[in-house]
Structures are given as C-alpha cells and as structure tokens.
Amino acid sequence: MELNILVVGQTGQMGRVLEQTIQKSPHHLVAGIGHPKDITKEDVNIYSDFNDIPQPQDIDVIIDFSTPHLLEPLLNFATKHKIPVVIATTGIENTKLIEKASQAIPIVYAGNYSLGVNVLEKVAEVVAKALKDFDIEITETHHNLKVDAPSGTAHMLFDAVNRGRDHTLTQHQGRHGLDAKRTKQEVGMHALRGGTVVGTHTVSFFGTDEVIELTHTAYSKQIFAQGSLKAAEFIVHQQPGLYDVNDVLEGE
C-alpha cells in the first residue's frame, strides 16, 4: 500500500532523514510542517501552519518529529480530518492531549522507534524484577543540538524498570550537593550532551561486588526514521486508540 505522508518537523534533523527514507520507500511525502525561518522558495510543499495545507483529505498518515509546541495544532488538525498519527517527538508533558485525541483517531506514541531499544526495555524490566536489591541508574548521551533532557528513551527505560519493581521507584534528575546520598528507590537519570552522538542509553544495575550494564547505541538516525515508517504502515490499519512500538512489532 502506498501512503501519502505529512511530516511534521520536516526541516529538522530527523525530518530530513525521514524524507530520504520515504523517497526510498513506496510511499510519498506530500507535505511538511517546518519553522518559517527554515523554509526556502524551493520547499514548495512545506508549510508553517497546518491550516495552509492544501487537500488535507489526501493525507493518509502524519509522522511527527518536531517539538511539543506543535502537539496541540497537530492533534487538532489530525482529529478534524481523521488522520492517523505517529508521534516521535519527545519532551511532551501534556500527554493527556494525546490520550484524548486517541479516542477519535489511531495514534502510535513512542520515545524511540528503534528495534533495539524496544527489546532493551523488556530486558531491563526483567532484570529489575530479578535483582530487587540492586540500585538502578540510567545514563543517556546525545548530540549537542538536543533540547530536551532526560531523553524520551530514558523515560521509557525508567518506566520499564519501575514496572519490574511494582511502581515503587522514583526518578532523580542528576545528583549534586553535600546531602546527595541516594535512596534505595531512586533512579538517577543522567544526561550527557556533546558533538554528534546519535543516542546512547545505559541502564546500570549495581549490586554488592557486581554490576550489570545494558547499553543501546544508535549509530544512525535512519533506524528511527525506518521504525517510524513501519509504525505509519501499522497505524493506518488500526481503530482509534493509543498504540506503542510493541504493538507495531507484534503486528508484523
């Protein structure tokens, strides 16, 4: 099936990689949303306002790699025109907006569309459950252009270990000061930023005289673009509701 796709954040780092990925697929990038200052005369199909998009009825699916600031207009547009959405943007605080919209349209929402991280999530949950006394810390490293911290993936990994510990854990952002000794239930979340690092995540389990470290390293942004495209192919066949990457993988 060939899909007509609207890419939100098309002028960004991920938007450009997704554009190339779509060009190599049977699908079509029919329109993009970008920030006005990034749009040049050659970008004939890029708009800064959802209301300017011609023929929204021709769009089969929306893929969003942008900013939380665009979430509300994006969901209003998608709900009005009954278009399924793949949300990849991270740093979203008002997830209620997504839950509400998913009553009317199908939505996939994930902080990481790579295959490896979604398996890592499951493994981390199992290890957290099996090693109840081990202290857990999460470290993430990204390029110097990333705006949000901790990463969406770090939040996903926290949720996974927290499920493994029956929701008894709490997040602790960084650690500093004279009274910074860790408590048993806290998970330190540490964000490193620099250079062109695509994305590395480590979940560390510290026991007495032994440590387990689970690390996922992304070597290209293409893995996220390809995963989001798979999610798009999945979501166009679903009923309204909120889905995650595991639903996509199980649907294969």
Ligand X SMILES: NC(=O)C1=CN([C@@H]2O[C@H](COP(=O)(O)OP(=O)(O)OC[C@H]3O[C@@H](n4cnc5c(N)ncnc54)[C@H](OP(=O)(O)O)[C@@H]3O)[C@@H](O)[C@H]2O)C=CC1
**Residues placed in the known binding site for (S)-2,3,4,5-tetrahydrodipicolinate:** 143, 152-153
Which residue(s) pair with 209 in the sheet? none
Q: Is 227 in the site for ligand LZUJQKHR (CB under 6 A)?
A: no
Q: What is the dihedral sign for C-alpha 222, 232, 28, 89? A: negative
- Closest approach of Cβ 153 to ligand LZUJQKHR, in Å? 3
User: Could you tell me which stretch among 55-63, 105-113, 127-135, 157-165 binds ligand X (CB under 6 A)?
Assistant: 105-113
DSSP state of 239: P
Q: Is 90 in the site for ligand LZUJQKHR (CB under 6 A)?
A: yes
Which residue(s) pair with 211 in the sheet? 206
Distance CA 174, CA 55 (A): 47
Q: Which of 239, 5, 215, 208 is nearest to 105 (CA)?
A: 239
Site map (CB under 6 A) of ligand X, residues 126-165, x = contact: ----------------------x---x-------------
Q: Which is nearer to ligand LZUJQKHR, 142 or 230 (CB)?
A: 142
Q: Which is nearer to ligand LZUJQKHR, 83 or 92 (CB)?
A: 92
* Set 27, 146, 155, 190: catalytic member: 146
- Closest approach of Cβ 177 to ligand LZUJQKHR, in Å? 27
Tokens of 18: 């997704």
Confirm whether 146 is a catalytic residue: yes
DSSP characters over 157-202: HHHHHHHHTTT--EEEES--STT-PPPTTEEEEEEEE-TT--EEEE
* Catalytic residue set: 142, 146
